[in-house]
Structure 1
Amino acid sequence: MENKTNTLKAVDFFCGGGGMSYGMLEAGINVLAGIDNEENCRNTYDANIGKDKFIKEDVFDLKEEELENRLKLDKNDDDLILIGCSPCQFWSIINTKREKSTKSANLLIEFARFVKHFNPGYVVVENVPGVLRKKKESGLEDFIIWLEDNNYNVHFEVHNVSEYGVPQSRKRFTLIANRVTTEKINPEKKEGTKVTVRDVIGEPNGFPKISDGNRDETEFIHTVPTISEINKRRLKKIAKDGGNRLGFANDPELQLPCFIGKDDWFKDTFGRLWWDKPSPTITTKFFSISNGRFAHPEEDRALSLREGATLQSFPKKYIFHGTSTSAIARLIGNAVPPQYAKCIGESIIKNHTNGII
């Protein structure tokens, strides 16, 4: 195979606020468009990926020919990457209200329609590990069979993004299918010490100390919600640098009734991050201390919006638009960490150009 130049281009289905798209751009891949059915993603996507690249469409309603004409796509294009990082509430182990997310169970099947229509050179799927545990029900099993029957070499595995330069422990199912070469493409891990919380947040990294309730109206959004007086008292009893709710478990005024006699249940609730470890998984509720180990390692507050974005590996220059703290946190928590996406993109470029990046 002769060396090829990088002429890769991608369409990002279920693009959200652009985490996957940004990582692909950083790797050197041209992102043609991002598709999502939520209008509140548009301004964030436009600001960081490129104006007029956001397509608001529900994948259940979008027709293959419509997308083909709109983006002037060709079938059987070796340079085309189709990416599907569908919302994953239905298959998530932390979701407790699956009936609200039933529609998301079939998104992979809908994405497969476009793969079968375009037969692109590359396919990328990123999702929660649960999609692999339930690969028959999720449509993953049939999708992989179709890919292999149509001459794709398919890598699929659950990866922890902390192995790829992201300062966060986050396990994600990743599939990379390639019909351009005979290789199974596996994103290359970053060798050496994992990136930790201390490496990216805190005063030395440009995050001034703040109190709960801080409102940052700049694009840095070092914003954090107010917490109640009783939660402030609880936080003061939680040890710095990795302490948990057992710090106030023996105080009858502070202990939560639901945890009495249940010290081993949900110990991360009200917990602090460790400075010298990657953060826990950044969810859409990372701004709330009662929703996981989301308290600052030493300050008596939850993580700010920018801290959560940084732990997701978004650069500080990334601009988020949203009508509320929770709306922006949802964009951040649902995103594919851009640094992980960059590793995926670089591995595809390396394959496509015969090792020349």
Structure 2
Amino acid sequence: MIIMMNSCSLKAIDFFCGGGGMTYGLRQSGVDVIAGIDFAKECKETYEINNPTSKFVYSDIKELEVDYFEKHFSVQRNDDNLILIGCSPCQYYSIINTSKNKSRGTKDLLKEFIRFVDYYNPGFILVENVPGILSKADSVFPEFERFLKEKNYLYKFEIVNMCYYGVPQTRKRFSLVASRLGDVELPKPDEKASLLSEFIGLHNGFSCVEAGHKDETDFMHTTSRLAPINIKRLVKTPLNGGSRLAWKDDPSLQLRCYVGKDHSFTDVYGRLRWDKPSSTITTNFIKITSGRFAHPTENRGLSIREGATLQTFPKDYKFCANSILANARIIGNAVPPEYARRLGVLLYELKEKYNGTI
């Protein structure tokens, strides 16, 4: 249910907004997202066409003047109804094998976010990131936590599995809610996990397609091409949850890098299961070589629209980047809109609890 905005409506600025997952979800809850900021220009059109009342600010946060939103959007300091959102890129803290030297530039972005929180002193703060932000020895989170305490913010954080928040993935994320107005909490989880079968498949409007299918419509049921040998591998992979172990003893199909390593990277080339949540939708979800991303019953990987739907983007959400890889990147990097919507509903409930004005 969308909460109607009134004179005490919450407003937000979405730092590191990407293609607008957090913005869209918050808007669904009634939050007025004034602007989203990101340095990935490929996200601009996707963000703005789906969130027409929110302005995309193309900028490196390190170079953005702290009073920018005061000057250009008339954002007031010390506004109890203002939310600042800091879902900074998380490659450095990810458990996925990324180059740490290459991703080091994302390590300290939360420090840059602190500048804006310090200046605007908002009523609420939201942060979402990968669990590694808590466990890495050189994480900036302890500094961020000290800052919150110094500014007298009350806060809670947890590692949440989003399959219990309306998102059909085993997507574990660090989630923090903070406020200087009173006690806070996180959204309450559902009793049951959301399942793959509840979101994709023929019964949910997804026609059967082949690998390499190109959908020219906005629905974008587009899939990556597969080499003939990978088609053969999928043909021999049992439906609904099968893995590469089904063809490990076939010398024409087995990969040399996995010989004698049956228990390493077991999800690669694997099929999803209808009766389970999906694997985490990453920026490479269209590649069966990057995880358990093969369709449960069709010999192909996930389509762009299937990945977006598993991220809880609505089926009419348009992805406007110039390649299938770029659109997959936008989708995989997003905060699932359904989780963001629940955060927005929670903040309205907290505000009502504080002063009864909403």
**Which bin holds the TM-score, normalised by the shorter protein?**
over 0.9
Which residue of structure 2 aligns with residue 176 of structure 1?
177
Q: What code does the residue aligned with 1:294 have?
A: F
Q: Deviations over 1:144-178 (max 9, x none)?
A: 12212222111111111111010111010111101
Name which of 8, 11, 29 aligns with 1:9.
11
Question: Where do 1:223-302 residues align within 5 Å?
Answer: 223-302=222-301
Which residue of structure 2 aligns with residue 165 of structure 1?
166
Q: CA deviation at 1:292?
A: 0.3
Which residue of structure 2 aligns with residue 188 of structure 1?
188
Which residue of structure 1 aligns with residue 155 of structure 2?
154
Structure 1, unmatched stretches of 5+, are none
Name which of 76, 81, 88 aligns with 2:78.
76
Q: Give me the whole-angstrom Cα distance separating, in 2, the residues matched to 1:52 and 1:157.
A: 29
For normalisation by structure 2, the TM-score amounts to 0.95
| 1:130 and 2:129 aligned | no
Q: What code does the residue aligned with 1:132 have?
A: L
- Whether the 8 Å contact between 1:33 and 1:54 is mirrored in structure 2 is yes
| 1:86 and 2:85 aligned | no
Q: Give me the whole-angstrom Cα distance separating, in 1, the residues matched to 2:343 and 2:333.
A: 18
3-state secondary structure, aligned to 2:173: strand
Which residue of structure 1 aligns with residue 3 of structure 2?
none
3-state secondary structure, aligned to 2:46: helix
Question: Where do 1:336-355 residues align within 5 Å?
Answer: 336-354=335-353
Q: Deviations over 1:206-257 (max 9, x none)?
A: 0000011100010000000110110010001101000000011010100000
Q: What code does the residue aligned with 1:141 have?
A: P
Question: Where do 1:106-145 residues align within 5 Å?
Answer: 106-134=108-136, 137-145=138-146
3-state secondary structure, aligned to 1:12: strand
Cα 1:279–1:52 change in 2 (3 A) is: closer
Q: CA deviation at 1:276?
A: 0.5
Q: CA deviation at 1:51?
A: 5.6
- Whether the 8 Å contact between 2:91 and 2:98 is mirrored in structure 1 is no
Q: CA deviation at 1:66?
A: 2.1
Q: What code does the residue aligned with 1:175 have?
A: L
Q: Give me the whole-angstrom Cα distance separating, in 2, the residues matched to 1:85 and 1:52.
A: 17
3-state secondary structure, aligned to 1:172: strand
- Whether the 8 Å contact between 2:241 and 2:296 is mirrored in structure 1 is yes
Q: Deviations over 1:255-282 (max 9, x none)?
A: 0000001100001000000101110100
Q: What code does the residue aligned with 1:349 have?
A: Y
Question: Where do 1:209-220 residues align within 5 Å?
Answer: 209-220=208-219
| 1:332 and 2:334 aligned | no
Q: Give me the whole-angstrom Cα distance separating, in 1, the residues matched to 2:212 and 2:143.
A: 49
Q: What code does the residue aligned with 2:150 have?
A: D
Q: CA deviation at 1:79?
A: 0.4
Please report the RMSD computed on the Cα atoms of aligned residues, expressed in angstroms.
1.4
| 1:38 and 2:37 aligned | no
Q: Give me the whole-angstrom Cα distance separating, in 1, the residues matched to 2:147 and 2:311.
A: 33
Q: CA deviation at 1:52?
A: 6.2
Q: Give me the whole-angstrom Cα distance separating, in 2, the residues matched to 1:119 and 1:199.
A: 41
Which residue of structure 2 aligns with residue 202 of structure 1?
201
Q: Deviations over 1:38-90 (max 9, x none)?
A: 11111000111116610001000001112321121111110000001111111
Q: Give me the whole-angstrom Cα distance separating, in 2, the residues matched to 1:229 and 1:207.
A: 24
Which residue of structure 1 aligns with residue 106 of structure 2?
104
- Whether the 8 Å contact between 2:13 and 2:36 is mirrored in structure 1 is yes
3-state secondary structure, aligned to 1:60: helix
Q: Deviations over 1:303-345 (max 9, x none)?
A: 0000000011111011111111000000000000111111111
3-state secondary structure, aligned to 1:99: helix
- Whether the 8 Å contact between 1:17 and 1:42 is mirrored in structure 2 is yes
- Whether the 8 Å contact between 1:6 and 1:352 is mirrored in structure 2 is no
Percent identity over paired residues: 49
Structure 2, unmatched stretches of 5+, are 1-5
Q: Give me the whole-angstrom Cα distance separating, in 2, the residues matched to 1:5 and 1:343.
A: 21
Q: CA deviation at 1:299?
A: 0.1
3-state secondary structure, aligned to 1:284: coil
3-state secondary structure, aligned to 2:108: helix
Q: What code does the residue aligned with 1:321 have?
A: C
Q: CA deviation at 1:96?
A: 2.7
Q: CA deviation at 1:184?
A: 2.1
Cα 1:264–1:300 change in 2 (3 A) is: same
Cα 1:275–1:42 change in 2 (3 A) is: same
3-state secondary structure, aligned to 1:175: strand
- Whether the 8 Å contact between 1:108 and 1:138 is mirrored in structure 2 is no
